[in-house]
Amino acid sequence: MSNANPAAQQLPDVHVQAEVLVQALPHMQRYDQQVVVIKYGGHAMGDRAAAEDFAEDVVLLEQSGIKPIVVHGGGPQIGKMLDKLGIKSEFRAGLRVTDEATVEVVEMVLAGSINKQIVGWIGAEGGKAVGLCGKDGNMVTARKVTRTAVDPDSNIEKVVDLGFVGEPESVNRAVLDQVLSAELIPVLAPVAVGRDGQTYNVNADTFAGAIAGAMMAKRLLLLTDVPGVLDKNKNLIPDMTIDDCRRLIADGTITDGMIPKIETCIYALERGVEAVVILDGKVPHAVLLELFTDHGAGTMIRRG
């Protein structure tokens, strides 16, 4: 019948939507008034549609009674700005050497343009976000990172000076507690100050792990460019314990850039975070899939 009621034709769709909401209810109840720390980075940040999906997810979490905290990276954007300014950047032991000129650019890009862009995206979806970095309210105090690498010529292990690259030494949660109690969404840039007053560039995963640990977060979500932790056959491992992580690092299954991510997971779990999830940030609404459905969207790691 051509003159059928259009609303009636849409009913099956409406019922599906209602069913989806009902299925999400127990998950929403589980996370009610709980802190969830989300590390947002990688290529998902460069894609406008993915960024808008992410902002929608964060606003929906806050509206459903969860307390999201966003920590973002920005390596590719820092690289582009350094190139634009003609500042040469070198890598040692897999980390960017951050001299005085570089750390100024890092702070400008991370705590400036990227941070406010994410705040703007969340605002455009109806959320209220506040952009901060580790310096604000002495939130994160950093210490200089020390790394060693084996010299290929002499085969001797030497200390690698990475300049102003830091790691979290302590976290003061006072500012975050105030922001969350005002029902605002903190968006944090991983820049911190040392006891020496020097500005330090902190790895975003490490920064997120320290924040999650200090806030006793229910979940730490690390959004990456891969589906999660993969076994030797490149299949996703859905669930792991800390012991599994250490075993898979020892036998060479977990390698390269995944090792520091896993070390961050272990650090956060040992400080009271209930579970950490490594998931693909390029999947549309990956955060909602992980938190509000039975399917999950990556590798979940628990203490044991």
* Nearest one of 237, 299, 229 to 257, comparing CA atoms: 229
Q: Is 235 annotated as a binding residue?
A: no
Q: Is 94 annotated as a binding residue?
A: no
* pLDDT beyond 70 at 136: yes
* pLDDT tens profile 169-213: 999 999 999 999 999 999 999 999 999 999 999 999 999 999 999
Question: CB–CB of 135/193 below 8 Å?
Answer: yes
The predicted pLDDT at position 46 comes to 67
Q: What is the mean pLDDT of residues 54-63?
A: 95
Angle between helices 258-270 and 242-250 (to 10 degrees): 150
Q: Is 75 annotated as a binding residue?
A: yes
Q: What is the mean pLDDT of residues 224-236?
A: 91
Distance CA 38, CA 220 (A): 6
Distance CA 267, CA 234 (A): 25
Distance CA 83, CA 181 (A): 41
The phi, psi pair for 8, rounded to 5°, reads -65, -35
Question: CB–CB of 225/286 below 8 Å?
Answer: no
The predicted pLDDT at position 59 comes to 97
* pLDDT tens profile 99-117: 999 999 999 999 999 999 9
Band of residue 9 on the pLDDT scale cut at 50, 70, 90: low
Predicted TM-score (pTM) of this structure: 0.90
What is the pLDDT of the chain when averaged over all its residues?
90
Q: What is the mean pLDDT of residues 135-158?
A: 87
The vertex-247 CA angle with 281 and 148, nearest 5°, equals 80
DSSP 3-state of 38:
strand
Q: Is 74 annotated as a binding residue?
A: yes
The predicted pLDDT at position 246 comes to 95
The predicted pLDDT at position 1 comes to 46
The predicted pLDDT at position 43 comes to 60
Q: What is the mean pLDDT of residues 141-167?
A: 86
> In 25-49, which positions are buried (b, 16+ CB within 10 angstroms) versus exposed (e)?
eebbeebeebbbbbbbbbebbeeee
